[in-house]
């Protein structure tokens, strides 16, 4: 079988979104194809400027009865780490800011926030307990979030899921609860998908969300006590563990990660997981915390971006194989295809966007059939 990724490598010259120069996709031994049209970004560059890219989608093109768990979408892992300054090779997972990630098609954001001392809330990478981890990004997370929130409200036809991940070693339930209520719910209330008792976020239909102007779902990890103690949060915030499945393969080896993703995609949601949103995390960790696996993989020593650049095409092709039949037709839903370094040559942004569109086209066909 020759998948559409391979066909596109044969056929396409790609466009650099900044310079406007077209160039052929290149190949090397470690990375069979450079599968995006974006030049590699140096971490010292200003990447917050307008890119001219627009990969936003209109989810109202899908059937009203489509559940959120049935929608394929792009996601970003450790979305707020673009301003982390310490130990960048193992701490920075993105170069584009949140709004630029959204313009590149990201709908699912992994937002890890904590508050240290009397400072503002900040994005971070790694819990405080980890060696060579626990580093905060510079600047205010709430300021960055406000820009993303505005973008989401300005695009009401597109679904957004904001997953907030808290550092349980730093903040208590009161601090977390106050953040969720004041900085999230109060700012987004008119657009939030309400948490109806007995219905998981993935079971909500487009009819009862995006079609009604409720285009933002909130997930929270390590906030269970905060949610239970606050009636407002119970109404609008979904618990992460109870509403998602799949998750991180936790391996620097691309073939092991592909096996993990393939298994999760193939599994029926099953009893106890019905309605959960599948997260297919395509990112590979570098030297920590999997020292026992990474120590014999020299390419992990140079950090997350180097490893992603060498392996992302292989992982993307693995995701393609996991969702297609022998004829190359997309027959399974990849869920959230979450990645590091969205919009750069260290990520398969273009191809994941195409996989997303092909998977979601199945729901468009349902609309056409109904009309007939």
Q: Give the residue extent of every domain in the chain.
A: 63-371
Residue 12 scores a pLDDT above 80: no
Residue 114 scores a pLDDT above 90: yes
Tell which phi-psi region holds residue 97, choosing left (phi > 0), alpha (psi between -120 and 50) or beta.
beta
Q: What is the pLDDT of residue 364?
A: 84
String of DSSP letters for 161-221:
EEEEEE-TTT--HHHHHHHIIIIIIHHHGGGBPP--TT--GGG-BSTTTGGGT--EEEEEE
Q: What span, in angstroms and rounded, lies between the C-alpha atoms of 170 and 179?
A: 14
Residue 30 scores a pLDDT above 70: no
The predicted-structure confidence for 223-281, as pLDDT tens digits, reads as follows 999 999 999 999 999 999 999 999 888 888 899 999 999 999 998 755 556 689 999 99
Q: What is the pLDDT of residue 103?
A: 97
Q: What is the pLDDT of residue 127?
A: 80
Please choose, from the candidates 303, 302, 319, the residue with its C-alpha nearest in 3D space to the C-alpha of residue 353.
319
Q: What span, in angstroms and rounded, lies between the C-alpha atoms of 84 and 62?
A: 38
Residue 28 scores a pLDDT above 70: no
Residue 90 scores a pLDDT above 90: no
**What would the two tokens of residue 365 be?**
């066909």
Q: What is the pLDDT of residue 39?
A: 29
> How much is the pTM?
0.84
Residue 144 scores a pLDDT above 60: yes
pLDDT band at 133 (very low <50, low <70, confident <90, very high): low
User: What percent of the chain stands above pLDDT 90?
Assistant: 64
The predicted-structure confidence for 31-64, as pLDDT tens digits, reads as follows 333 333 322 333 333 333 345 788 899 999 999 9
pLDDT band at 126 (very low <50, low <70, confident <90, very high): confident
Residue 211 CA: distances (Å) to CA of 95, 104, 156, 363: 33, 23, 9, 15
Q: What is the pLDDT of residue 134?
A: 77
String of DSSP letters for 279-311:
EEE-----SSS-HHHHTT-GGGTT-HHHHHHHH
Q: What is the pLDDT of residue 52?
A: 76
The CATH class given to the 63-371 domain equals alpha beta
Half-sphere exposure of 97 (CA within 13 A, CB side): 21
Quote the crossing angle between the two packed helices 304-323 and 349-371, to the nearest 10°: 30
Q: What span, in angstroms and rounded, lies between the C-alpha atoms of 104 and 55?
A: 5
């Amino acid at each position: 079988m020759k998948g559409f990724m391979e066909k596109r490598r044969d056929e396409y010259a790609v466009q650099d979104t900044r310079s406007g120069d077209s160039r052929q996709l290149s190949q090397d031994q470690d990375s069979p194809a450079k599968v995006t049209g974006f030049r590699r970004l140096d971490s010292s560059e200003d990447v917050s400027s307008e890119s001219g890219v627009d990969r936003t989608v209109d989810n109202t093109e899908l059937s009203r009865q489509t559940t959120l768990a049935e929608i394929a979408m792009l996601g970003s892992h450790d979305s707020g780490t673009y301003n982390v300054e310490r130990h960048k090779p193992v701490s920075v997972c993105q170069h584009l800011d949140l709004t630029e990630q959204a313009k590149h098609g990201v709908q699912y954001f992994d937002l890890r926030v904590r508050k240290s001392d009397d400072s503002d809330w900040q994005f971070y990478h790694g819990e405080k307990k980890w060696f060579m981890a626990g580093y905060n990004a510079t600047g205010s997370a709430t300021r960055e979030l406000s820009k993303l929130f505005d973008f989401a409200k300005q695009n009401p036809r597109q679904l957004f899921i904001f997953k907030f991940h808290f550092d349980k070693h730093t903040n208590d339930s009161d601090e977390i609860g106050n953040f969720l209520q004041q900085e999230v719910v109060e700012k987004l209330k008119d657009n939030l998908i309400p948490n109806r008792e007995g219905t998981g976020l993935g079971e909500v239909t487009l009819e009862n969300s995006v079609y009604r102007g409720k285009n933002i779902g909130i997930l929270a990890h390590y906030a269970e006590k905060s949610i239970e103690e606050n009636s407002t949060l119970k109404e609008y915030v979904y618990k992460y563990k109870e509403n998602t499945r799949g998750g991180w393969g936790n391996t620097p080896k691309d073939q092991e990660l592909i096996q993990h993703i393939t298994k999760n995609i193939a599994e029926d949601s099953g009893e106890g997981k019905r309605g959960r949103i599948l997260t297919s995390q395509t990112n590979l960790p570098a030297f920590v915390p999997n020292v026992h696996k990474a120590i014999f993989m020299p390419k992990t020593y140079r950090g997350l971006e180097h490893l992603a650049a060498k392996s992302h095409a292989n992982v993307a092709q693995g995701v393609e194989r996991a969702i297609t039949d022998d004829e190359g037709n997309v027959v399974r839903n990849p869920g959230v295809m979450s990645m590091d370094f969205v919009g750069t040559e260290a990520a398969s942004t273009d191809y994941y966007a195409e996989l997303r569109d092909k998977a979601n086209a199945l729901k468009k066909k349902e609309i056409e059939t109904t009309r007939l």
